[in-house]
Amino acid sequence: MPQPETTMAKLDATTPQPIQLKDYTPPSFLIDKVDLTFDLEEDHTRVTSRLVLHRNPAHPDARAALQLDGRELELESVKLDGELLDSSRYELDAESLSIAAMPDNAILEIVTVIHPETNTSLNGLYRSGANFYSQCEAEGFRKITYYLDRPDVMARFSTTIVADKQKWPVLLSNGNKVGEGMLDRNRHWVKWVDPFKKPAYLFALVAGKLSLLADRYTTTSGREVALEIWVEPADLDKCAHAMSSVKKSMQWDEQRYGLEYDLDTYMIVAVGDFNMGAMENKGLNIFNTKYVLARADTATDVDFDGIEAVIAHEYFHNWTGNRVTCRDWFQLSLKEGLTVFRDQEFSADMGSAEVCRIDAVRTLRTHQFAEDAGPMAHPIRPESYIEINNFYTVTVYEKGAEVVRMYQTLLGRDGFRKGMDLYFKRHDGQAVTCDDFRAAMADANDYDLGQFARWYSQAGTPVLRVRGQYDAAAQTYTLEVSQSCPATPGQAEKLPFHIPLTLGLVGPDGADLPLQLAGEAEAVAGSRVLSVKEASQTFHFINVAVEPVPSLLRNFSAPVKLDFPYSRPQLVHLLAHDSDAFCRWEAGQTLMLQDLQGLIDAARSGGELELKDDFVAAMRRVLADESLDPALVALMLTLPAETYLADQQDEIDPDAIRAGREAMKLGLARALRSEFKAAYTRMLDSGAYQYEATAVARRSLKNIALAYLSELDESGLMELAERQFAEANNMTDAQAALACLVNWPEGDAALASFASKWADEALVMDKWFTLQASSRRLGVVAKIKALMQHPAFALTNPNKVRSLIGTFVHNNLAGFHAIDGSGYEFAADTLLAVDKLNPQVAARLAGSFNRWKKLEPVRRAHMRAALERVAAHAGLSRDVYEIVSKNLM
Ligand code: PHE
Ligand code: ZN
């Protein structure tokens, strides 16, 4: 194991201190009202803030000082109740402004100057091109003015924006526009008032030259809402899908949860420079362009899906996040896990529920299981953090959503709705905790969720070990279930979780057997949910007429790893017959994983790389079955990611993983060549592009068939990809064909024509970078470096960094892990350069080191050296420091 003492010692002088959940105390003051004025200029912005405050009776010290958060601010003046304070009356440091002698009620007026024009962090107020945008979650508001920048301080905001009318004609903020007018020097002003109390993280401001797509929506109770999407003028023809997604989301939340929108205007603004996907600022959501802009020829089906889901997500936050918010940032999953669950349920209702569920499970397993097994493992409600921005994770979001889903699985859909209703009844307008949510679910259903709390406090992926025993004479089937959870940093021992285990028993004819537990009067048809609460537990099924194959963890009823010793014929049986689509897919994946592991082992030891006949036959049947949903067929034929395979190894050899996985692709392509060709032809569609479930499903199967066929080095098949690339009337087909071509010499011409066609479309150029960063051609580090010089690339733009560098370090396992360590050197250099500009984006790149301890020894040594070099770098951000130091612990 590494001895990082020397490196750590160097860091000690400036070591950032962790913030602990157990140290939570209520704020010493509360803010009733805040009036902001922004004077926007090219070379600075002046912010005047008027705060109405009162002492918080809930704070333990009735004479406590007022300590306002603030960073990178130039303080011009502070007035307390109208009196200008000289610097002896307050204390100022790099992170705060403190006033010791405070009356119980006060009005504070603070003037600060900030510099959005040089702010590359995209946090606080910043410029993108000539326009101004803000991003305040989690702690960006303190870069705008001195404030109690914590979510349990909720105030009523008004915002006046003053700016040159020619340069910044559109001036937006939260709430309702209440006035506007002209001033001297051709400047204009607009005033906005938000009637709802909100924490500062939901504040937003936008100013610039923007075009508007406008529409209307009438809520069930008859409220007329103006819907507005604001984008750069050139993008106005790519907003229709986003607008229809808004309307669908509004309608769905009314039908499913009885929740209506609460303001007269709902605004969405799209910006090309954005750290995350989108942000739910009250009444003024700000989105990454990636999750707004789509036209058939510029965006893929996956992009259309993503837009629909993210639009829904941000809209749903208006209730789960804004009306009821988080007490502190440790409770982040309260709003994020719940809102992801809500957007998943929405997407399931919009398209294929089965396909959505399998996609969600794939994401969870590929990314969250990896996080749970690495140095950054944390529970969905973390207990400490150094930089909160590092905790916008797949654990808080996706595992958080799985935890919310388990309430619904245990309580039923109606029970879950009752819990939601009670949650809003109790907590509307409040800043609350995950325990408050759990209490609402328990109380509304009179259900004991005491043990369920462990899902919030224990990190790691539990393993559910299940063994089955059929007794033909007694006609019983006994399931022995035991659970365990591996140690994670800071948590050696785990207590048993409350796990909902949804299951069925599949008979020899493929139909579900009736389910009756010993002691029960009647049997249940189909599936049922067992509550697993003990470390070990036994379930006795009676009246089981024939030996069943158990179908376990149906619909992925809990975020756990299942350990059941299925035989290959049992897996083939489930793949063919299980009434649960997730389990059918899972049976195929289990077979596939077993064989992939065999291939990887063979690649490592120099053995034969051959596929097993029963597996090939099963895949042949899947591919030929025209009664199946083509989207499900495509998913069944999709191989797990290289990184997921890496996480199944005791010691990672990236070259063996690549070789094994490529052998599986080639083997299937050879064996099923005619079936793939038939499926490709069957799925061809000559009509105009439509984003609609059936058409999307057909394209997904067509394009996976093309991907397999292009593995075969045959000119006719290469022509198929070239023809599809040249003739495609939509980006889904064009990109899929290009993805096949890039691995071959034919790809160069296609890449060049793609780049010249789309040079002015930033989001399409992102795809061009992504495709090349995932290429399996040799010498990819040099290629990436060359692409960083391309005019469309910019180190300051997060989408570009993610497309090119993020894809390479996170997804191109064999490329990044080149045996000479060149990938790690490149990652270290690049993340240090990015850290100077944008620490949040740099920290995400640093996550590419998280697997280092599991690598084979040569690469492990290279990676450790790169990590130590980063750790020793002077002036590291807290964001990167946290990731790197936890890796070296
Ligand atoms: N709260 C945003 C969401 O999940 C994500 C986000 C976090 C955006 C931090 C920006 C900054 O919808
Ligand atoms: Zn969210």
Phi, psi (5° rounding) for residue 457?
-110, -20
Contacts of 236-241 with CB under 8 Å at 24 or more apart are 236/211, 237/295, 238/292, 238/293, 238/294, 238/295, 238/298, 238/299, 239/213, 239/292, 239/293, 240/213, 241/294, 241/299, 241/304, 241/307, 241/308, 241/691
Answer whether 139 contacts ligand 1 (Cβ < 6 A). no
Please state, in angstroms and as integers, the Cα–Cα distance from residue 196 to each residue in 76, 155, 770, following that order.
29, 8, 42
Answer whether 278 contacts ligand 1 (Cβ < 6 A). yes
Strand partners of residue 155: 198
Mutation pick for ligand 1 pocket among 279, 290, 319, 343 (CB with most ligand atoms within 8 Å): 279
Answer whether 202 contacts ligand 1 (Cβ < 6 A). no
Ligand 2 centroid – CA 280 distance (Å): 7
Ligand 2 centroid – CA 418 distance (Å): 23
Ligand 1 atom closest to the Cα of residue 340 is: 4
Q: Which two tokens stand for residue 655?
A: 């070259």
CA 356, CA 354: separation in Å to the nearest integer? 5
Answer whether 280 contacts ligand 1 (Cβ < 6 A). yes
Ligand 1 centroid – CA 286 distance (Å): 10
Ligand 1 atom closest to the Cα of residue 280 is: 12
Q: Convert 700-723 into a string of H (helix), E (strand) and C (coil).
A: HHHHHHHHHHCCCCCHHHHHHHHH
Answer whether 113 contacts ligand 1 (Cβ < 6 A). no
- pLDDT for the residue 775: 87
Cβ neighbours for 423, distance < 8 A, ≥ 6 positions apart: 324, 436, 437, 440, 441
Ligand 2 centroid – CA 798 distance (Å): 18
Ligand nearest to the CA of 340: 2
- Nearest residue (CA) to ligand 1, atom 1: 279
Residue type, position 144, single letter:
I
Phi, psi (5° rounding) for residue 620?
-65, -45
Answer whether 795 contacts ligand 1 (Cβ < 6 A). no
Label residues 400-420 b or e (16+ Cβ within 10 Å = b). bbbbbbbbbbbbeeebbbbbb
Strand partners of residue 512: 506
The tens digit of pLDDT for each residue in 252-274 reads 999 999 999 999 999 999 999 99
Answer whether 194 contacts ligand 1 (Cβ < 6 A). no
Ligand nearest to the CA of 339: 2
Ligand 2 centroid – CA 260 distance (Å): 18
- Nearest residue (CA) to ligand 1, atom 9: 137
CA 123, CA 467: separation in Å to the nearest integer? 51
Answer whether 235 contacts ligand 1 (Cβ < 6 A). no
CB 111 within 8 A of CB 105: no
Mutation pick for ligand 1 pocket among 280, 282, 339, 388 (CB with most ligand atoms within 8 Å): 280
744 CB-contact burial (10 Å; exposed 0-12 / middle 13-18 / buried 19+): middle
Give pLDDT < 70 ranges for the chain: 1-14
Answer whether 286 contacts ligand 1 (Cβ < 6 A). no
Answer whether 336 contacts ligand 1 (Cβ < 6 A). yes
* Residue positions annotated with a catalytic role: 314
Ligand nearest to the CA of 201: 1
- Nearest residue (CA) to ligand 1, atom 7: 137
- Nearest residue (CA) to ligand 1, atom 12: 279
Q: Which two tokens stand for residue 250?
A: 């509004």
Answer whether 314 contacts ligand 1 (Cβ < 6 A). yes
Ligand 2 centroid – CA 337 distance (Å): 8
- pLDDT for the residue 182: 98
58 CB-contact burial (10 Å; exposed 0-12 / middle 13-18 / buried 19+): exposed
Ligand 1 centroid – CA 442 distance (Å): 28
Residue entry with tokens 């440790």 = 330
Ligand 2 centroid – CA 317 distance (Å): 7
Q: What ipTM does this complex have?
A: 0.99
Ligand nearest to the CA of 271: 1
Ligand 1 atom closest to the Cα of residue 389 is: 9
- pLDDT for the residue 4: 41
Ligand nearest to the CA of 204: 1
Answer whether 276 contacts ligand 1 (Cβ < 6 A). yes
Ligand 1 atom closest to the Cα of residue 336 is: 4
H helices of 606-746, in order, are 613-624, 630-636, 642-647, 654-671, 673-683, 693-709, 715-727, 731-741
CA 849, CA 225: separation in Å to the nearest integer? 47
Phi, psi (5° rounding) for residue 630?
-55, -30
Ligand 2 centroid – CA 778 distance (Å): 39
Ligand nearest to the CA of 291: 1
CA 807, CA 772: separation in Å to the nearest integer? 9
Answer whether 398 contacts ligand 1 (Cβ < 6 A). no
- Nearest residue (CA) to ligand 1, atom 5: 279
Q: Which two tokens stand for residue 478?
A: 């006994």
Answer whether 137 contacts ligand 1 (Cβ < 6 A). yes
* Beta strand 499-506 pairing with 156-164: unpaired
Ligand 1 centroid – CA 711 distance (Å): 39
